């Protein structure tokens, strides 16, 4: 099986780009929903708006809590691995799971806003957006989360060392 290799800077560039794209998706959908898709001010919000607000708040809270829990489990699994590439790949998957749970719940809240036109829902989506923004990938946080050895830290600092190997997907 063929693989592609990345140094630490490339690895983090991709992780940050993924984070930015997930943030952008929530922001763009929220802006489009508010400024383009919601009808004129004479539109009467749905009477079931409070039900959607309650569902959205609980769903976002559960998704954030679940993202922290799953991230912790995956980080514990990454710490047990011997190979630095495997640790970084596990960290990437844990981070993607965290981002996806928070982004998905924020997008669902924006959809609830589309259904009800209740501005409180945009505020709840904004809270999800802030939580997602606070999890911006940071090399220092990665190094602390994974408890890397001095040898592994030195490998990360070397720009010529390809620390991550990713399998290439066959195209059919």
Q: Which residue has the higher pLDDT, 47 or 118?
A: 118
Of the candidates 133, 128, 110, the residue with the CA atom closest to the CA atom of residue 34: 110
Structure confidence by residue, pLDDT tens digits, 54-99 = 999 999 999 999 999 999 999 999 999 999 999 999 999 999 999 9
Q: Which domain holds residue 146?
A: 3-36+48-158
Looking at the predicted structure, is the pLDDT value of residue 158 above 70? yes
- In-domain check, residue 116: yes
pLDDT at 42: 46
User: Residues 6 or more apart from 109 whose CB is under 8 A from it?
Assistant: 56, 59, 60, 121, 124, 125, 128
pLDDT in tens, 131-140: 999 999 999 9
Q: Cβ neighbours of residue 1 under 8 Å, at least 6 residues apart?
A: 167, 168
What span, in angstroms and rounded, lies between the C-alpha atoms of 150 and 147? 10
User: Is residue 171 included in any domain, yes or no?
Assistant: no
Tally the domains of the chain: 1
Measured between alpha carbons, how far is 138 from 161 in angstroms, rounded to an integer? 19
The whole-number pLDDT of residue 14 equals 94
Structure token digits, residue 10 = 């490339």
For residue 168, tell me if it sits in a domain: no
- Beta-carbon neighbour count of residue 97 at 10 Å? 16
With respect to residue 172, please indicate whether it lies within any of the assigned structural domains: no
Q: Phi first, then psi: give them for residue 110, nearest 5 degrees.
A: -65, -40
Q: What are phi and psi of 6, to 5 degrees?
A: -135, 145
Tokens 């495997």 correspond to: 86
pLDDT band at 45 (very low <50, low <70, confident <90, very high): low
Residue 41 included in any domain: no
Summary mean pLDDT of the chain: 90
């Amino acid at each position: 099986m063929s693989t592609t290799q990345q140094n630490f800077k490339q690895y983090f560039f991709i992780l940050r780009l993924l984070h930015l794209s997930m943030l952008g998706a929530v922001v763009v959908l929220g802006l489009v929903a508010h400024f383009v898709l919601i009808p004129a001010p004479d539109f009467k919000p749905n009477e079931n708006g409070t039900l959607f607000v309650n569902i959205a708040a609980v769903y976002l809270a559960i998704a954030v809590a679940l993202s922290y829990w799953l991230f912790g489990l995956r980080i514990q699994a990454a710490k047990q691995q011997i190979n630095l590439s495997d640790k970084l790949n596990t960290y990437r998957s844990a981070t993607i799971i965290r981002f996806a749970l928070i982004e998905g719940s924020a997008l669902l809240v924006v959809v609830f806003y589309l259904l009800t036109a209740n501005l409180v829902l945009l505020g709840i989506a904004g809270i999800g957006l802030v939580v997602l923004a606070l999890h911006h990938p940071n090399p220092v946080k990665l190094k602390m989360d994974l408890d890397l050895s001095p040898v592994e830290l030195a490998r990360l600092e070397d720009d010529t060392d390809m620390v991550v190997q990713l399998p290439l997907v066959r195209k059919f």
